[in-house]
Amino acid sequence: MSIFRSLPLAALVALALLGASPTPTASPKPVAIVHIRDFKYNPTPVVVSVGDTVEFINDDDEAHTVTSNDKSFDSGGLDTGETWLHTFAKPGKYAYFCALHPWMKAVVIVKPSAP
């Protein structure tokens, strides 16, 4: 049984007025954008720093994914016009591909942050 079902209507109204619902958080601003078009990721490679966010945009007529070779990230299916953000937390070279079209491959190079 939901806790909200046991609350009187006045209590529910008070919770709503007090802003008890979760506040949406802002998405990180991407420092690089990768377009998926004509069954290619563009640009590749992308070079960013630790903590940077990359936005992937599916500009193609087919669904695609952004799936790392080491399985550290996966966008899931992106339909035409959909976007996906990923923030890179560790330095390294991240090879990725489309799980639906495995010949589509690209790389993100993540440099250590400046001290």
Taking only the tens place, the pLDDT of each residue in 91-100 is: 999 999 999 9
Determine the 3-state secondary structure of 4 from DSSP: helix
d(CA 99, CA 66): 8
- Does pTM top 0.85 for this prediction? no
Domains of the chain, residue spans: 25-111
Percent of the chain whose pLDDT exceeds 70: 77
- Please name the fold of domain 25-111: Immunoglobulin-like (2.60.40)
